[in-house]
Amino acid sequence: MADDAPPGGFDRAAWFYEPLARIYSLGKIEAAKASQLGLMNPGDRVLYVGVGAGEDAVLAARVGADLTCIDLSGRMLARARTKFERAGLRGEFIRGDVFEHDRIGHYDVVAANFFLNCFERGPMRRMLRHLSGLVRPGGRLLIADVAAPSGNRLQRQLHRGYNGVGLALYWAMGLVPLHPIHDYRRYFGEAGLRCIRVRDFRVLPFGPVSFQAIEAQRLADPEG
């Protein structure tokens, strides 16, 4: 991507994005992302889309995976790269739009963490199909993100309130559009994905499920 691309909200937020997420979620966002590490093996080709400041990608590189990291934000990407350099780890860093990344079927694992939430429903569905196409048949698409509402009425209301505050905060900082909480699994069929496992993360032990880590398998023959 050209160096003169307009800086977005994520450029401005790069220095505090991960600490803010840690405080907001009492560490559960970080935990949801870290829960994916057991699904990666040394030598796996792993792509982190919208890698941000890369706290999860650097852990994957420690596992011995062959990492590619993409982000539109130069400052986010610079922070991710610095983490790799400090840890003495290697990775490929691409500043650009994930929609333009065209290594179809190349990756064993694609990790999309708190990334699909940057899009309204239509573009999110297109991105989900695109990400699925980047995974080799049988490989994994991993999504750590805000959970779709679940549980009893009170839990759903608490979930909507908590995530509404989060979304409004991120929207006010110019990071994401306002949109309802996505239920990614509803769109797995059209993207040629099968849900393998979902791990739930609660901010408080008896509170609603706030975040989820979804493991999906890329099917050999996607619909449409």
Ligand X SMILES: C[S@@+](CC[C@H](N)C(=O)[O-])C[C@H]1O[C@@H](n2cnc3c(N)ncnc32)[C@H](O)[C@@H]1O
Q: Which residues pair with 144 in a beta bridge?
A: 213
Subset of 2-41 contacting ligand X (CB under 6 A): 10, 33
Does residue 51 interact with ligand X by CB under 6 A? yes
- 71 vs 108 by CB, closer to ligand X: 71
Shortest Å distance, C-beta 193 to ligand X: 19
Backbone angles phi, psi at 146, to 5 degrees: -60, 135
Measure Cα distances from 189 to 82, 99, 132, 220 in Å: 38, 20, 11, 12
Asked if residue 50 binds ligand X (CB under 6 A), the reply is yes
Which position among 46, 47, 58, 98 is part of the footprint of ligand X (CB under 6 A)?
A: 98
Radius of gyration of the chain from Cα atoms? 17
In the set 58, 69, 118, 142, which binds ligand X (CB under 6 A)?
118
Which residues fall within 8 angstroms of residue 100, CB to CB, at 6 or more apart? none
Per-residue string for binding with ligand X, 58-97, x by CB under 6 A?
------------xxxx--x--------------------x
d(CA 26, CA 127): 29
* Residue count of the chain: 224
Beta carbon of residue 116, minimum distance to ligand X (angstroms, whole number)? 9
Task: Report the interface residues with ligand X, using CB under 6 A.
Answer: 10, 33, 50-52, 70-73, 76, 97-99, 113-115, 118
